[in-house]
Structure 1
Amino acid sequence: MFNANAFVSTARLLKKTLEWPIHKLMPVAIKAMFLPPHNASISNKTWNDEYDSGAWDFLSTTKEVGRYSVIVGYCLHFRPAARILDVGCGTGILARWLSGAAISSYLGIDLSEAAIEKARQSNIQGAEFAVADGTAFKTSQLFDVIVFNEVLYYIRTPEDYLRGFARCLAPGGILVVSMWHHADGINTWKRLRAGFEQLDRVRIVHVPSGLRWDVAVLRPR
């Protein structure tokens, strides 16, 4: 028998759930599930509020160790003594991982002023940080490695985004891309095939949580 009151209660609960600010607690990878593919509508204020609130501090936990280890390993294996550009660097976690490694230079860019301020306060030796929107980033510098660490979810045309940055690669340079393994990420890897050669790719599994990531080394065709 149909219970109208139960139906209404369930509908209200669902509505509240959908309106709940998931961005306050969920990692970027999980958040991507609830956004339209390649959503680029998140405001700079939202990013700043999240970094100020510590919503991204989970990136420094053991859950992320495997993924960052692979990113660093790829950087050092494919391009020793590299000049590295970290696009969407956040608070400079990758820079801390690379601190003391045999690299030539590190530049991290992020559109969040709050994230960059935290990165600079870390005083990571040899690392430079700049507030910059990757979609409009301009530089005369060349880099041996450009890292895109969990950022392509928010780009409407990720293949064009990577192609634009590929102009900043030195001869023989590589792109290192990390994406959480979910439907939109899988489609993005397919979209990148036409313009980029995949030199290597691994899948990292964090067993306790079941989260999976793909990390790949790409080169423009």
Structure 2
Amino acid sequence: MNFKDKFHNWRRKQRWNKQYRKGRWDNLKGEKERSRYEKIIEFSNKYGNKNPDILDLGSGEGVLLDYFNSSTISSFDGMDFSSVSIKKANETNREKGSFVCADLHSFKPENSYDIIVLNEAFYYIHETKKSEVIETMIKHLKPNGIFLVSIYREGLGCWEYFKNETFKELDFTTVTTNEEKTYWKIGVYKLA
């Protein structure tokens, strides 16, 4: 990224922190998001390894972990761009959960995972870094591991990174709500 892009990335981080402080993203814990989280859990159980180690990229306050039955997972690491959301995630004592603040553009996981969730985060990655981020995450995917990608609405500029010869699509669905413009597309991918 050039200097201008790095500056915009820094400004976006400030905006996210401000929004989390003001409660702008409290709706992620609400009923409208439930069906999306439940579909991620369903796909995790159906296609993921048993007792998985999970990495949630774009974890926010760790809402996804709250949907998992802690007895069915080995570990859950969450990463988010917002230091405020990570502080909130760490204030709640969640069994098997660990949360760190990092920039997905340069994040290097310390562990390997059975399931890597790109949780409403992939479209925020700068276009020049998307392939690099995927390559980094591939290096941290365990054998038979899966990528779960959740994108709000269409996710233009995102799906072509998964619908190619590198990945095999295991499942793909659209999760809708009673609001016409509120829907998510969720895909499950393995390395081809």
* Native 8 Å contact 2:172 2:187 kept in 1: yes
**Normalised by the size of structure 1, how large is the TM-score?**
0.76
Q: Which residue matches 2:142?
A: 170
1:96 aligns to 2:69 (yes or no) = no
User: What is the letter of the counterpart of residue 112 of structure 1?
Assistant: S
Q: Which residue matches 2:121?
A: 151
Q: 1:78 aligns with which of 47, 50, 73?
A: 47
Task: Give the structure with higher Rg (CA).
Answer: 1
Query: Which whole-Å CA distance do the structure 1 matches of 2:119 and 2:131 have between them?
Result: 15
Q: Which residue matches 1:61?
A: 30
* Native 8 Å contact 2:19 2:25 kept in 1: yes
User: What is the letter of the counterpart of residue 197 of structure 1?
Assistant: K
For the structure 1 residues 196 and 40, does the alpha-carbon distance in structure 2 shift closer, same or farther, using more than 3 Å as the test? farther
* Native 8 Å contact 1:146 1:169 kept in 2: yes
For the structure 1 residues 165 and 146, does the alpha-carbon distance in structure 2 shift closer, same or farther, using more than 3 Å as the test? same
Q: Which residue matches 1:32?
A: none
- Unpaired runs of 5+ in structure 1? 1-38
Measured after TM superposition, the shift of residue 187 of structure 1 is 4.0
Query: Which whole-Å CA distance do the structure 2 matches of 1:191 and 1:117 have between them?
Result: 31
Query: Which whole-Å CA distance do the structure 2 matches of 1:187 and 1:131 have between them?
Result: 25
Q: What is the 5 A alignment of 1:169-208?
A: 169-182=141-154, 185-194=155-164, 195-208=166-179
Q: Which residue matches 1:9?
A: none
Q: 1:216 aligns with which of 171, 176, 187?
A: 187
Q: Percent identity?
A: 30
Q: Which residue matches 1:114?
A: 84
Q: Which residue matches 1:49?
A: 18
Q: What is the 5 A alignment of 1:123-138?
A: 123-138=93-108
* Native 8 Å contact 1:163 1:220 kept in 2: no
* Native 8 Å contact 1:99 1:126 kept in 2: no
2:99 is paired with a residue whose SS is strand
1:95 is paired with a residue whose SS is helix
Measured after TM superposition, the shift of residue 181 of structure 1 is 2.2
Query: Which whole-Å CA distance do the structure 1 matches of 2:156 and 2:53 have between them?
Result: 29
Measured after TM superposition, the shift of residue 97 of structure 1 is 1.1
Query: Which whole-Å CA distance do the structure 1 matches of 2:141 and 2:161 have between them?
Result: 20
Query: Which whole-Å CA distance do the structure 1 matches of 2:42 and 2:11 have between them?
Result: 31
For the structure 1 residues 114 and 99, does the alpha-carbon distance in structure 2 shift closer, same or farther, using more than 3 Å as the test? farther
Query: Which whole-Å CA distance do the structure 2 matches of 1:205 and 1:82 have between them?
Result: 27
The structure where helix makes up a greater share of residues is 1
Measured after TM superposition, the shift of residue 91 of structure 1 is 0.4
For the structure 1 residues 61 and 140, does the alpha-carbon distance in structure 2 shift closer, same or farther, using more than 3 Å as the test? closer
For the structure 1 residues 209 and 65, does the alpha-carbon distance in structure 2 shift closer, same or farther, using more than 3 Å as the test? farther
* Native 8 Å contact 1:173 1:219 kept in 2: yes
Q: How many residues align?
A: 181
* Native 8 Å contact 1:99 1:125 kept in 2: no
Query: Which whole-Å CA distance do the structure 2 matches of 1:48 and 1:187 have between them?
Result: 25
Measured after TM superposition, the shift of residue 159 of structure 1 is 3.8
Measured after TM superposition, the shift of residue 170 of structure 1 is 0.6
**Normalised by the size of structure 2, how large is the TM-score?**
0.86
